[in-house]
A and B are shown apart, each in its own frame.
Chain A
Amino acid sequence: MSEPSVAEENKSHILHHFVDSDQQFEASKMGMWVFLVTEILFFGGLFAAYIVYRAWYPDLYLQASEELDTFWGAVNTAVLIGSSLTVAMAIRSAQLNQIKGLIINLYITIGLAFTFMVIKYFEYAYKFEKGILPGSYYSYDGIAHEKANIFFSIYYMMTGLHGIHVLIGIGLMIWLVFKAKKNVLHSGYYTPVEITGLYWHLVDVIWIFLFPLLYLID
């Protein structure tokens, strides 16, 4: 709920086809929730593929997941959960009209997201060196299972798509920092922060599913 006084002071953010600030905020928020539903179904296809192949080749999953580095996976999980906290704090700062706090929290979130991507990069690079490449480029012979390439195809598709979502999130938050510095955002209008936060939480939640499903099988 926005403070009426602030909302009345500054109405420049209301687009022509909305009646008031509340209607615009509610519409944007609902739009983002609907979008998140589509994201879940998008990843849902990959989860379905994961389930099907795991049901067929349970041994493969046990063996192949040992190639994944549980320690760095766990670090990345902590990093992402931390970034979810800071993005929530950014929203709170915006609600309280603390623009400086908003920018600092966004910077921390961006930093954590970069940390995640850097760790992911080293994980990928290590596997590429061993010959664990996606699809038909797979040339590693450390796993005694003829379908080993399929596990890693699924692994790369899932973590790769998730990584793209993290990159998009970083882009969105850099855009938010620019907006905040131009004093566009205030407690009467913080819709972009709110809906980017929703998106970021989803990216986090998807990782929370990916981590145990891929890394913690045994």
Chain B
Amino acid sequence: MATEESKANVKRVQVKRFKPEEYPEKHYLNQETGLWAWMTTVDHKKIGLMYLMSVAFFFFIGGMLALLIRTELLTPARTFMDADVYNQVFTLHGAIMIFFFLIPSVPAALGNFILPLQLGAKDVAFPRLNLASFYIYVIGALFTLTAIFTGGVDTGWTFYTPYSATTGGSVMMMTMGVFILGFSSILTGLNFIVTIHKLRSPGITWDRLPLNLWGLYATSIIQILATPVLAITLLLLTMERALGIGIFDPALGGDPVLYQHFFWFYSHPAVYIMIVPGFGIISEVISTFSKKVIFGYWAIALSSLAIAFIGFLVWGHHMFTAGQSSLASMVFSFLTFLVGIPTGIKIFNWLATMYRGSIDMKTPMLYAMVFLFLFTIGGFTGIMLGALAVDIHLHDTYYVVAHFHYVMMGGMVMAFLAGLHYWWPKMFGKMYSEFWAKLSCGLVFIGFNMTFLPQFIMGAQGMPRRYFNYIDQFQSFHQFSTIGAYVMGVAFFIMAGYLFHSLKKGKRATSNPWGSRALEWQTTSPAPLHNFEHTPVIINGPYDYHKPMSEFQLGIATSHNGHHAGEDASHTVSKTEQV
């Protein structure tokens, strides 16, 4: 039966050489336009762009809150806002940046746009669910904005009990917002897993899957396994406030450390939801701009899965001082060190990819370099915090703040920006100004280090995190840090400026401006409404830089019946070519 089918396929699959049209007249941006068409679209590219606008909006809000925090910290005690307001501002900065920017930034915004393109699929497996996940995100966001304007939240983004069960403000509104948001994240993860399994074009076998998709795949696994636990935790917390069910509140016989276990069982894997898709982007960017086959394909692919797996076993390192048993702390500390192994594997493979490559320092590559530098610092300081004895000293100081900003902002945001600049031509068909992009990248790098390097020193000297007031000896550090934050703010405004300018007046992008071998660059820029006019047959791998570009073209199966043929179809293709 199976052989008959494949024989039938051999006859039907006629492959012609395919080169994408340059400067297409019709593409996804100018078809099905109008506000209503956008709002009801099931096209993954448009949904991706709507997510991109939303995360950019929340990045702006969160960034402004960060500048407010840094301005307040220019002087000890009150500079221009009260302590209560300050508590609300840092809570919102954390909650917005994590739940509304970092978690959806790469998977939901960039991932939605790029995943079906890299698979040669027309869309994700469940397009309507994809649109639903966007609206769930919007509803969650509305809840959160309501919480801000009806009393605010001052618990910190972690909502630790018993404080969160007893404090005033709109904690319930906020936790319900994050609860709703979780479903959006789950649906995106579910969609990606099924799409990667079931919608690959003929010729994309698991060993030809772009590393970006391995990253998104690992991320999706974490999303579907961890997010439901956050959902139940926040539901219990909401019930705690509404009915006083007493599971987390010691006044009612509950256990606050249990809340911390529940919370970090989600929230530690969640930091890998934020960083692992960034690893995927960096792999793509480094290979493309080094013009070299990626070094250690399987090592990079599987280390993403290893990080996802180990990430579930280390949540206790957030609770070394919270009263868990010392044996548990030792085990968690040991397991935490293990995360460094797959991460180190990735870093070395990227370096080996660049070694003797012909490196082209375009903006995305520059951001990848910044990523390597900052993320390595963030990773090593993480290992230090994972060491039990060191952590007792550094726990809840600015050292921790600096560490996770190096990982989240220096790692994830830089990877996000690398990806944004890398796929910008594919998204909008326009090029941005390289000069201004590099300038703003440099300013981000300088501003970032000015902001957070002093915080390592302050933290090591004992400056506690989240404090409104501080002793005079820290003032110069705080002021230096604030100036750094302003530099970053300027850099991001420059970025917004040249990106908008490129939309209006940018040079039109060719279909493959970077000379990449990956599938998404073999279609037009911007992509057509259904990504590829025909189901593409993939002849070469996404990193086959050893083959000349002229040889590098997509095959097209004129028959659509080629999806399940997989390897067979690609063999057929090469045979047909030889003839």
Contact = CB atoms under 8 A, between A and B. Distances in A.
A156 B233 CA distance: 15
B356 to A, nearest CB: 41
A10 interface: no
A135 B239 CA distance: 8
A142 interface: no
Interface string B231-256: 11100100110011111000011110
Interface in A24-70: 26-28, 30-31, 34-35, 37-39, 41-46, 48-49, 52-53
A31 B126 CA distance: 9
- SS of B interface (majority): helix
A39 B125 contact: no
A202 interface: no
B564 interface: yes
A31 B189 CA distance: 10
Given A23-B563, A45-B233, A52-B255, A136 B225 contact: no
A30 B245 contact: no
B224 A17 contact: no
Given A38-B190, A149-B246, A45 B239 contact: no
Given A26-B198, A42-B232, A135 B243 contact: yes
A153 interface: yes
Interface size classification for chain B:
35 or more
B467 to A, nearest CB: 32
Interface in A60-94: none
Contact of B247 (A27, A146, A153): A153
Contacts of B127: 15, 17
Interface centre among A20, A31, A46, A137 (most CB of B within 10 A): A31
A17 B233 CA distance: 37
B92 interface: no
B247 A154 contact: yes
Contacts of B198: 23, 26-27, 30
Contacts of A41: 224-226, 228-229
A170 to B, nearest CB: 21
- SS of A interface (majority): helix
Interface in B531-579: 535, 560-564
Contacts of B243: 134-137, 153
Interface string B506-547: 000000000000000000000000100001000000000000
Contacts of A37: 224-225
A19 B247 CA distance: 50
Contacts of A17: 121-125, 127, 199, 530
Contact of B253 (A18, A149, A157): A149
Given A20-B561, A49-B236, A150-B253, A134 B123 contact: no
Interface string B182-217: 000010001101110111000000000000000000
Contact of B186 (A15, A27, A38, A154): A38
Contacts of A49: 236, 247, 258
B262 interface: yes
Nearest to A47: B232
B105 interface: no
A134 B239 CA distance: 10
Interface string A137-165: 10000000011011001101100000000
A182 interface: no
A58 to B, nearest CB: 15
Contacts of B121: 17
Interface size classification for chain A:
35 or more
Contacts of B227: 38
B246 A20 contact: no
B231 A42 contact: yes
A135 B246 contact: yes
A22 B562 CA distance: 13
B199 A27 contact: yes
Given A135-B244, A146-B253, A23 B564 contact: yes
Interface centre among B236, B560, B561 (most CB of A within 10 A): B236
A49 B257 CA distance: 12
Interface centre among A37, A39, A49 (most CB of B within 10 A): A49
Given A27-B198, A41-B228, A147-B253, A19 B245 contact: no
A156 B5 CA distance: 55
A16 B225 CA distance: 30
Interface centre among A34, A44, A146 (most CB of B within 10 A): A34
Nearest to A60: B253
Interface string A172-214: 0000000000000000000000000000000000000000000
Contacts of B255: 52
A164 to B, nearest CB: 11
A160 to B, nearest CB: 9
A192 to B, nearest CB: 13
Interface string B89-124: 000000000000000000000000000000001111
Interface in B113-156: 121-127, 129
Nearest to A25: B198
Given A150-B254, A157-B245, 12 more contacts: A17-B125, A23-B564, A31-B125, A31-B129, A31-B191, A38-B225, A135-B246, A135-B252, A136-B245, A150-B247, A153-B245, A157-B239
10 contacts: A18-B199, A23-B199, A26-B198, A27-B194, A34-B194, A38-B190, A38-B224, A42-B232, A135-B244, A136-B244
* CB-based closest 8 A-B pairs: A136-B244, A45-B232, A135-B243, A153-B245, A42-B228, A17-B122, A17-B123, A41-B228
